[in-house]
Amino acid sequence: MVGGTLRDIRAEIRSLARSDGDYAVVCGRTGAEPPAATGQRFPDRRAAGEAAELTRDYRAALRRYDPNIPYDDPLVYEVAEGPPRAATEASDDYARYSAFCHDTAGALFESLSELGYREAETAAMETYLTLAEVVGDRDDFCLTLVWSLMSELDVRLSAAERRAVVEAAADLFSPTATPNPVDATLRQLEAVGFVEGFSVRPIPDAEAAGTRDVDAGPDVRTDARKDARTDGDDSSRTWELTFGDYALAERTGRIPTLPISVALLRRTPERTVRFLDGEALSNGRWRLRLRMSPNGEGGRERGPAGLVSVEAIENRWLNDPSASLGR
């Protein structure tokens, strides 16, 4: 399966890397590090050049299933001098959107392979290949691949298994603690065209009280006194996210959170992330609530919840076929 192939390519790239290396690889079309080389440093230009070619192989493995993937332009540069100008001025909107989808999907396929969830990996690819036969716009193949993974993870894996897969996928992006990680995540989603316009706000204790953890069962409630406090930083807080034109908007009673989860977890090592609920709003906008806290705090060692999808609150915007859900 594709997950095993991607894992082998990543292993080759890692074999070339050194923690004190002076060279790195960046994509000239997106301005981001190729997913298989994210966070990797190489001892010399030759090793970095080999890694750059391997990142092409990584993308080519996915292109077997989505021929519309833009071709990469991996560039080698010396870290001390910064990325080349071509990368810093990259302006290919579709390349960024496609790369975000395929980077997320590739990491998830790798994680499924690594953790031995072969049935879910196979089912996701079969679902994608079936849907690709009826997708009218080839530009939507990349999004269909992400949706297929979301769909099969939701129905074939337990909450703990889903958590393990999403966390393993995020770990492939060399997680680094980021200031204001929720805001940074939505800025990335907006930059790649996955959402349009967003706002983020912390939820006060009184609002957060009584929120249900979707994977904990109907009778388990959050402790708002712990989950909404700030303690001087963002390490333990409940957040409300509002955004428009969500690429994965759907009218099924659930809101896909998978790509948001992977993007957020790569910015929040050592924290527990749980999506609580969400709802459709007017004018094609959506609202999600999530909670972050230090790993293991509050007796919730079972870890994240809602990392693949979350229940959508029933309301007129969700149930009215004439109401816009976005794109």
Each residue's pLDDT expressed in tens, for the chain with a length of 327 residues = 899 999 999 999 999 999 999 999 999 999 999 999 999 999 999 999 999 999 999 999 999 999 999 888 999 999 999 999 888 887 789 999 999 999 999 999 999 999 999 999 999 999 999 999 999 899 999 999 999 999 999 999 999 999 999 999 999 999 999 999 999 999 999 999 999 999 999 987 556 555 554 454 444 444 433 333 333 454 578 999 999 999 998 867 889 999 999 999 999 998 899 999 999 898 889 999 999 988 765 434 454 489 999 988 877 666 666 555 555
Residue 327 lies in a domain: no
CA atoms within 13 A on the CB side of 195: 21
* Structural domain count, the chain: 2
Same domain for 220 and 287? yes
Confirm if 173 and 38 have CB atoms less than 8 A apart. yes
Burial of residue 37 (number of CB atoms within 10 Å: 0-12, 13-18, 19+): buried
Same domain for 163 and 283? no
Residue 44 lies in a domain: yes
Same domain for 200 and 162? no
Residue 325 lies in a domain: no
Of the three residues 127, 143, 171, the one that is the final residue of a domain is 171
Same domain for 17 and 150? yes
Same domain for 9 and 153? yes
Same domain for 86 and 185? no
Of the three residues 171, 192, 214, the one that is the final residue of a domain is 171
Residue 35 lies in a domain: yes
Same domain for 143 and 163? yes
> In angstroms, rounded to a whole number, what is the distance separating the alpha carbons of residues 151 and 166?
14
Show the domain range for 200.
181-319
Residue 138 lies in a domain: yes
